[in-house]
Every structure is written in C-alpha cells, then in structure tokens.
Amino acid sequence: MRTAYSVETVRAAERELIARLPEGALMQRAAAGLAAVCAGLLRKVYGARVVLLVGPGDNGGDALYAGARLARRGAGVTAVAMDPERIHGGGLRALLAAGGRLADGVPARADLVLDGLVGIGGRGGLRPAAAALVERIPAGAVVVAVDLPSGVDADTGEVAGAAVRADVTVTFGAYKPGLLIDPGASRAGVVRLVDIGLSLPEPEAEALQDAEVAALLPVPTASSDKYRRGVVGVVAGSSQYPGAAVLAVSGALRGGAGAVRYVGPAADAVLARYPETLIGRGRVQAWVVGPGLGSGRAAEVAEVLADPVPVLVDADGLRGLDPEVLRGRPAPTLLTPHAGEAAALLGASRQEVEAARLTSVRALAVKYGAVALLKGSTTLVAAAGGPVRVNPTGTPWLATAGSGDVLSGLTGSLLAAGLDALDAASVGAYLHGLAARRAASGAPLLAQHIADSLPEAWRQHP
Ligand SMILES: NC(=O)C1=CN([C@@H]2O[C@H](COP(=O)(O)OP(=O)(O)OC[C@H]3O[C@@H](n4cnc5c(N)ncnc54)[C@H](OP(=O)(O)O)[C@@H]3O)[C@@H](O)[C@H]2O)[C@@H](O)CC1
Ligand SMILES: Nc1ncnc2c1ncn2[C@@H]1O[C@H](COP(=O)(O)OP(=O)(O)O)[C@@H](O)[C@H]1O
Ligand SMILES: [K+]
C-alpha cells in the first residue's frame, strides 16, 4: 500500500523525532537523500550546472545543503533566493564553504534546477517573488522539486495560481496526498520517497498496489457455482442509449460474478452481443443502476434502492438522489459520479469539485452515507471515515464515451462477488485503468476494448 499523510501528521511525527536527534540531523538526512537522487539524474556531477531556487523556510535549507553536497563533488552550484534577507543561514554557509555561490538572478542555462521555494509550509498560490523565479527556470533543465512542487497544496493537491512543474519530486518521510491527487500529482513527475525515520499513524490517503489488488480479486474455488460466485443485476440503457447497457454488461461479465442479469429496454442489443446474459428481474447479490437510463426512470432507481443488497448508482441514476433514502438503506451504496454529477449531488459547481477533489469525495461519502468513487484524472474512493483511496492506474485515454459504463458494470460485479464497497470500487478502478492502458497503448481506444482487455489486466495479478 502506498500511503500518504497530511502536513499536520508529518509535522507531529517530525517533532517527535527531532526531540530525539541532534540538532539539524533530520535536515541532513533529507539533504543527503535529495543530493543522491540529483546525482543519479545527472550523468556526471563534476562540472554539472545546478541552480537552487531557495525560499525562506526549511525547504530552502534542504536545497542549500543538498547543493553543498553536489558542489563538494564538483558541480557548479548557484543559489537564487526568493528573499535574500530570510535565507536559511546554516544552509547558505554550507553552500558557500563548498564552493557554491549566491546570485541575484536565475542563470540562463542549467542542467538541473532544485525547487526549494516552499514545501509543506506553503500556503495558497505562489507569491509573485516566487512565481517570478519559477518563470525563469531554464528550458531543458531537469527540475527536481524538494519535498513537493512549490505551489501545490500538500494536503489536497490543489493548485491556486502558479506552481512548479517537476520532472522528479524527492519527498521526505512520507508521501503527501497532494503528490497523488491531481492537479498536484501531474506537477510532481516521478515521486521518490526518502526515508528519514518518521513513525506515522493512520494515513489520510492510500493507493492499492499490485499485490493488494491480487489478494482482493474474487477467484472461484472447487465448491463454487455460478450463484455462489454472485449474480450482478444491471439496470441500464434506454431506447436513446442502448449502448450503455451493452457496455455495462460487458464490464460486469468480466468482474468475477458468476452471472449477469440485465433489466431494461435494451435486452435485444445486450443479447446480440452477450448471449451469456440472463434477462429480467430475479435475485441478485448486487445491483448496478444508472448507465444510459435517460430521464424519467426514477421509479426504477427507487425500486433497486429498496432491495437490501449492495447497489452501485452511476450516471442518470444519480439524478435527484435523496440522502435520507441512501442513509436508511440496510446494505452499502456506492456512488460513481464524474465531476459534473458530483457537483450536482453536492450543490456545487463542476469547477469547485475539480479544484478540490479530495474534499469533494469525502463530502459525498458523508452527505449520502455511501462509498463515493469520484471519476476523473485521479479517481478517488472515499468512505465516511478512514483513508481516501487514490487509484494509481488511470490514463487520460479513458476519457472516451462509454468507459464509465464499463467501470460501473465491472465494479458492480466485484460487489456481487463479495468485495466490500470500498474494495470493489478501488479494485474496479485499478483494473479499469490497467485495461485501458493495455487497450490504448498510445492510441485512441474504444470503451468496448477496455472491457476486452480486462481479462489481461486481471491475469497480470495471478
Ligand atoms: N517535516 C519533516 O519531517 C522535514 C521537513 N523538512 C523540510 O522542511 C520543509 C518545511 O519547512 P518550513 O516549515 O520552514 O516551511 P517551507 O515549506 O519552507 O515554507 C515556509 C516558508 O515559505 C513561505 N511561504 C509560504 N507560502 C508561500 C507561498 N505561497 N509563496 C511563497 N512563499 C510562501 C513562508 O513565508 P511566511 O509566511 O513566513 O512569510 C515561509 O517562510 C519541508 O517541506 C521539508 O522540505 C526537512 O528538512 C526535514 C524533515
Ligand atoms: N483525464 C482523465 N484521466 C484519467 N481518467 C479519466 C480522465 N477523464 C476521464 N477519465 C476516466 O474515464 C471514465 C469516464 O467515465 P464517465 O465520465 O462516466 O464517461 P461515460 O459516461 O462516457 O462512460 C472514468 O473512469 C474516469 O475516471
Ligand atoms: K519545493
């Protein structure tokens, strides 16, 4: 599990460790790890041109001490301060003693730029003095962010105004949620974690890795039959959108349930493509309701919600949901909105949801007493308490019509197979992203090809 911790949690762990260590030891650990990563990125340290952008806090101190280490190995290191009056004194002395220099402006050429403007102490968008330095980062230089890209909110991934776009981020002690969640995640590049010995409690966010997904996949045993494996019911499609029913069923057939039952007006289209599908009402272990329903279908959604089994509500099924009804359900509910649908559910704007994805997904879970999966550039899954799950496999190629229908069928199938709602949603998003990467491999994909690649994505986790 990749785990991420809030600034408050990191600060508390840092205080506890600092109390037990000689003064400055923690910053030296951070700087040593940072310098090692930089040295690895430079083909040759000796003679390399390194520029340090130095802010007024300890983030700047890390950059200066790492710069001193590189200068001692023969790099030409130039520091530029955001506010020369408030530069980290110890760090500056170390840099100058190692042969580095302090300059007024950013040099026109560099092999590597260290962004030490702000780290976890940053608040809001970058101030003009910092933004002006970022603008002058020489083209072609490798940009390494110290702890996190300056301008990214460590706790949420929000970016208000200017922010550094790093090739590599070297983060200390723990991942911060903002490094895993967009728009911050896309500013961070490759994230390298330097262990500085912090001991940490429960994380704020976490991302399942291959092995955890493998352990959660429902695999039949000798005593399985199709009913024991779980039946998933799909209420989807309309005369206007019959394809959504076909796509939801395509995902459901590949999610590990023993059978898929389709209920709705697109049975002919579904059967023409998937003769394996059962048609009409009957007992199920989980429902998927919503893809391609169109309008005027609230009674069918209500009927599904009245069944005391897990229900995944997607797309048109999300219209006008009553929080009280969902809270009163005896079985879990899983909501899978994109940002626009989440905005309607929260009474916010789409822009507000996209700018604050972590807060939004938590708010959905709390308001509706449900597990919420917020789709988009980093898919997030939240329950009312506990860490938010961040999906690490997404790809922008997924932004194609019908891919969400495949996801809802797949995830509903995992629910019917017995995964709890948080795991079904996390595993569904994980396999969906992996399948899309395989199906696309660098070219536009069709939603049906995501479904076709699901078995391969699944097999990658024996
Ligand atoms: N935690 C750990 O375990 C370890 C932490 N370590 C390191 O310490 C870092 C945290 O250091 P920190 O607390 O000094 O804060 P930091 O990120 O340098 O920023 C504060 C300064 O920035 C300024 N400023 C704020 N917002 C701004 C903005 N928008 N635009 C421009 N400026 C802004 C703010 O100004 P002020 O508000 O005071 O005027 C203040 O001066 C951490 O990220 C890691 O690198 C490691 O060394 C060891 C292990
Ligand atoms: N920029 C993006 N990066 C990664 N994944 C994306 C991006 N945009 C959309 N997606 C994913 O594509 C899918 C789109 O689902 P949805 O919006 O419901 O589309 P549709 O209704 O056409 O099926 C979701 O899984 C979502 O997470
Ligand atoms: K930084």
Q: What is the pLDDT of residues 163-191, one digit of tens each?
A: 999 999 999 999 999 999 999 999 999 99
DSSP 8-class letter at 240: S
183 upstream amide cis, omega within 30 of 0: yes
Average of per-residue pLDDT across 310-314? 98
Point out the annotated binding site.
58-62, 115, 119-125, 147, 150, 244, 292, 338, 375-379, 404-405
Q: Which atom of ligand 2 is nearest to the CA of 402?
A: 23
CATH 3.40.1190.20 maps onto the chain at 210-459
Instruction: Name, in order, each residue with C-beta under 8 angstroms of 339's C-beta and a sequence gap of 6 or more.
Output: 350, 353, 354, 357, 360, 374, 375, 376
Query: Is the CB of 399 within 6 Å of ligand 2?
Result: yes
DSSP-H helix ranges across 274-322: 298-306
Give the tens place of pLDDT for each residue, 185-221. 999 999 999 999 999 999 999 999 999 999 999 999 9
Give the tens place of pLDDT for each residue, 393-416. 999 999 999 999 999 999 999 999
| Residue 178 exposure: Cα atoms within 13 Å on the Cβ side | 28
Ligand 3 centroid, distance to 164 Cα (angstroms): 8
Average of per-residue pLDDT across 301-316? 98
Residue ID of nearest Cα to ligand 1 atom 25: 122
Question: For residues 2 and 174, what is the distance between their CA atoms, to the nearest angstrom?
Answer: 9
Of the residues 407, 430, 437, which should be mutated to test ligand 2's pocket, given the most ligand atoms within 8 Å of the CB?
407
Task: Give the model's confidence band at 156: pLDDT under 50 very low, under 70 low, under 90 confident, else very high.
Answer: very high
Average model confidence (pLDDT) for the chain? 96
0.85 surpassed by complex ipTM: yes
Question: For residues 213 and 456, what is the distance between their CA atoms, to the nearest angstrom?
Answer: 14
pLDDT of 267 higher than 90: yes
- pLDDT value for 441: 84
CATH, domain range 210-459: 3.40.1190.20
Task: Give the model's confidence band at 124: pLDDT under 50 very low, under 70 low, under 90 confident, else very high.
Answer: confident
286-289 and 231-235 strand pairing: parallel
2-4 and 205-207 strand pairing: antiparallel
CA distance to 67, 81, 90, 341, per residue, from 101 (Å)? 10, 11, 14, 53
Q: Which atom of ligand 1 is nearest to the CA of 31?
A: 47
Point out the annotated binding site for AMP.
375-379, 404
Architecture in CATH of 2-206: 3-Layer(aba) Sandwich (3.40)
pLDDT of 462 higher than 60: no
Q: Where are the beta strands (DSSP E) in 117-152?
A: 142-146
Average of per-residue pLDDT across 79-89? 97
**Amino acid (1-letter code) at residue 364:** L
Point out the annotated binding site for (6S)-NADPHX.
58-62, 119-125, 147, 244, 292, 338, 405
Average of per-residue pLDDT across 58-80? 98
- Torsion sign over Cα 27, 32, 37, 39: positive
Ligand 1 centroid, distance to 3 Cα (angstroms): 22
Give the tens place of pLDDT for each residue, 227-262. 899 999 999 999 999 999 999 999 999 999 999 999
Burial (CB count within 10 angstroms: exposed 0-12, middle 13-18, buried 19+), residue 102: middle
Query: Is the CB of 395 within 6 Å of ligand 2?
Result: yes
- pLDDT value for 442: 85
Q: Which atom of ligand 2 is nearest to the CA of 400?
A: 22
pLDDT of 461 higher than 80: no
CATH 3.40.50.10260 maps onto the chain at 2-206
**Amino acid (1-letter code) at residue 306:** A
Q: Which atom of ligand 2 is nearest to the CA of 396?
A: 3
